[in-house]
Amino acid sequence: MSPSNSGNTQTYTSPNQPSSGGHPELSVTAASTYHGLVQSSHSGVTPDSNPLLSDESSIDQAKINLLRLLVTKYTIAFPHRPIVLHPRKDDGDVVLVTGTTGMFGCHILAQLSLDPSVRLVYALNRASNGLVERHLESIKLQGLLAECLTSPKFRIIGTDISQPNLGLSPELYEEIRDSVTHIIHNVLQATRNLVDLALSSRCLEPPSIMFVSSVSVFRRPYKLPLAPEVAINDPATCVGWGYSESKWVAESTLLAAAEETGLRVNIVRVGQLCGAKNGHWNEKEALSAIVKSAYSVHCLPDVPGLGLVSWIPAYEAAKALIEMRDSTEQVLHLANPHPQPWRTFFDPLSHELDVPLVPYDTWVSALEADINDPSMTLLDHLKRNPALRLLNWFQHVDMDEEKEPLGLIPPSAIKASRVVPWLNDVEIGENMVTRWLGAWRETGFLPSASHDRSRKVVSKL
Ligand SMILES: NC(=O)c1ccc[n+]([C@@H]2O[C@H](COP(=O)([O-])OP(=O)(O)OC[C@H]3O[C@@H](n4cnc5c(N)ncnc54)[C@H](OP(=O)(O)O)[C@@H]3O)[C@@H](O)[C@H]2O)c1
């Protein structure tokens, strides 16, 4: 178990695997902070068999046992509800949201600012100097309106939510506990602490907890064509990637709390977020790294088959997430119900960057040749071509035609589109490519368009 796993807190990341972002929620900057979840080999306990999984033989049973133990740890002795409970005033929703400095968190804030039924928002973030400035920076980067932060309904709070009482003063903890109607948990840590807060509310109806999970909890191939919007009882489905495992532990903790205490819980498994309205796509993510690789290896990867992707833009995803907060559905997939072929995006990318699409394996070989080029240091290689930081992952990704490109099990979003019907109208198409390129060029992540034009001229000479 990770040494950072203490008391009520849940902080757990995994070996050789980056740990943030969307699917593939790979961060090219996140370091591997795994400290040996599985130190010894086997405890001898056999996991329940899961007939839906197709490659059970290779599943790490020790890891499965440990994940179950973690859930047991986080679900011991839920607090009783207070004896005296008050009815809630019907004067608007009070939302507690965690982790709002990041890409999706900012979008969630923006949507909460627009929702007239939301009266107050407590945004709990890691304490740091300039917390408001960090929000403003992120909001600007995503092309969102800075006004959303200056709304009087926001309280931006710096704290360590893994501490008892979420690291808050007794007065503030009490104020939040007795006023909050909805909790939106947008980070991995401290899920149990939020359950304890909800259960100790003195309101007749405790706040609901929505957990921003990820469709990548489905790591193992499923025999069903689509990953279903249901609770996952068997951790064999998620093992092998610390990020997915941590999401599963948090999901299971919440679902157990719901079952045992009646707390209303919504697990929203988010699919790959494909950029903000202004085209900003988190530069730490795999897709951004793939695109940037074109400048080093002079090609972009194609994928086998159609390679349907269920990407969803961040603005619409955050809007839908907010609308899901009163749903009685426990598990929803916030993914595009109408996936589009990989080439919808990669044909125009190849055209714009003037590089060919090559078979995926050829692209990986080009990365391997690139990293072995002795003319520069490893650090310079990684700076210039961030895809190299994920080389190991790209080398092992399962490019099965039945999966989405880069190994994602295609998620069903049927329930989600019943709860938020307009999800069926969210279009993703090649027009997004120009916006992505524009945003990456604007931040300097990619060279300017004029650089590209002169590159094209030189290559034609
Ligand atoms: N991006 C996607 O495509 C995608 C897809 C599926 C699910 N999701 C989920 O959506 C959520 C937000 O993702 P994102 O893409 O917006 O990521 P992001 O831009 O990297 O933002 C992550 C947020 O989490 C906070 N955070 C990270 N580690 C923390 C810790 N130890 N304690 C407290 N706060 C911490 C960060 O705070 P600091 O600023 O202090 O670091 C930041 O506010 C995550 O739960 C992610 O799993 C995202």
pLDDT-derived band of residue 147, with 50, 70 and 90 as boundaries?
confident
pLDDT in tens, 323-345: 999 999 999 999 999 999 999 99
Higher pLDDT, 322 or 60: 322
- What's residue 401's pLDDT? 84
202 token code pair = 């003195």
Does the pLDDT of residue 375 top 70, yes or no?
A: yes
The alpha carbon of 187 and the centre of ligand 1 are apart by a number of angstroms equal to 5
Closest residue CA from atom 21 of ligand 1: 102
pLDDT-derived band of residue 223, with 50, 70 and 90 as boundaries?
low
The alpha carbon of 247 and the centre of ligand 1 are apart by a number of angstroms equal to 12
pLDDT-derived band of residue 57, with 50, 70 and 90 as boundaries?
low
The alpha carbon of 20 and the centre of ligand 1 are apart by a number of angstroms equal to 6
Does the pLDDT of residue 58 top 80, yes or no?
A: no
Does the pLDDT of residue 453 top 90, yes or no?
A: no
Q: Which of 12, 187, 212, 274 to mutate to test the pocket of ligand 1 (most atoms within 8 A of CB)?
A: 187
Question: Could you tell me the sign of the dihedral formed by the alpha carbons of 426, 214, 291, 309, in that order?
Answer: negative
Does the pLDDT of residue 14 top 50, yes or no?
A: no
Does the pLDDT of residue 265 top 70, yes or no?
A: yes
pLDDT-derived band of residue 122, with 50, 70 and 90 as boundaries?
very high
The alpha carbon of 212 and the centre of ligand 1 are apart by a number of angstroms equal to 9
216 token code pair = 């990548």
**Pocket-forming residues, ligand 1, beta carbon under 6 Å:** 20-23, 25, 99-105, 125-126, 186-187, 189, 212, 214, 270, 272-273, 282
Of 6-10, 75-79, 246-250, 417-421, minimum mean pLDDT range: 6-10
Rg (CA), the chain: 22
Q: What's the mean pLDDT in 202-217? A: 97
| Residue 306 backbone phi and psi in degrees, to 5 | -70, -30
Does the pLDDT of residue 66 top 50, yes or no?
A: yes
325 token code pair = 């907060």
pTM: 0.89
pLDDT-derived band of residue 46, with 50, 70 and 90 as boundaries?
very low
Does the pLDDT of residue 182 top 80, yes or no?
A: yes
The single residue listed with the structure tokens 């400290």 is 35
Share the mean pLDDT of the chain: 86
pLDDT-derived band of residue 149, with 50, 70 and 90 as boundaries?
confident
In angstroms, the CA 337 to CA 311 distance is 9
- What's residue 399's pLDDT? 85
**Which atom of ligand 1 sits closest to the CA of residue 138?**
19
Higher pLDDT, 6 or 210: 210
Of 30-34, 149-153, 371-375, minimum mean pLDDT range: 30-34
Higher pLDDT, 60 or 192: 192
- What's residue 256's pLDDT? 98
Q: What's the mean pLDDT in 399-418? A: 91
Q: What's the mean pLDDT in 372-395? A: 94
Contact 363, 301 (CB under 8 A): yes
pLDDT in tens, 298-308: 999 999 999 99
| Residue 78 backbone phi and psi in degrees, to 5 | -65, 140
Q: What's the mean pLDDT in 440-447? A: 96
The alpha carbon of 103 and the centre of ligand 1 are apart by a number of angstroms equal to 7
In the chain, pLDDT over 70 holds for what percent of residues?
85
- What's residue 54's pLDDT? 52
pLDDT in tens, 79-102: 999 999 999 888 999 999 999 999
- What's residue 11's pLDDT? 28
Does the pLDDT of residue 65 top 60, yes or no?
A: yes
Does the pLDDT of residue 460 top 60, yes or no?
A: no
- What's residue 84's pLDDT? 96
Could you write out the three-class secondary structure of the chain?
CCCCCCCCCCCCCCCCCCCCCCCCCCCCCCCCCCCCCCCCCCCCCCCCCCCCECCHHHCCHHHHHHHHHHHHHHCCCCCCCCCCCECCCCCCEEEEEECCCCHHHHHHHHHHHHCCCEEEEEEEEECCCCHHHHHHHHHHHCCCCCHHHHCCCEEEEEECCCCHHHHCCHHHHHHHHCCCCEEEECCCCCHHHHHHHHHCCCECCCCEEEEEEEHHHCCCCECCCCECCCCCCCHHHCCCCHHHHHHHHHHHHHHHHHHHHCCCEEEEEECCECCCCCCCCCCCCHHHHHHHHHHHHCCEECCCCCCEECCECHHHHHHHHHHHHHCCCCEEEECCCCCEEHHHHHHHHHHHHCCCEECHHHHHHHHHHHHCCCCCCHHHHHHHCHHHHHHHHHHHCCCCCCCCHHHCCCECCHHHHHHCHHHHHCCCCCHHHHHHHHHHHHHCCCCCHHHHHHHHHHHHC
**How many residues comprise the chain?**
461
- What's residue 89's pLDDT? 86
Of 153, 159, 161, 154, the closest CA to residue 185 belongs to 161
- What's residue 408's pLDDT? 87
- What's residue 195's pLDDT? 98
pLDDT-derived band of residue 32, with 50, 70 and 90 as boundaries?
very low
The alpha carbon of 238 and the centre of ligand 1 are apart by a number of angstroms equal to 19
**Which atom of ligand 1 sits closest to the CA of residue 274?**
3
- What's residue 224's pLDDT? 72
In angstroms, the CA 14 to CA 151 distance is 38
First to last CA, the chain: 59
Closest residue CA from atom 33 of ligand 1: 126
Q: What's the mean pLDDT in 184-198? A: 97
**Which atom of ligand 1 sits closest to the CA of residue 243?**
47
- What's residue 402's pLDDT? 84
CA atoms within a 13 Å half-sphere pointing along the CA-CB vector of 254? 32
- What's residue 53's pLDDT? 54
Does the pLDDT of residue 26 top 50, yes or no?
A: no
Higher pLDDT, 103 or 12: 103
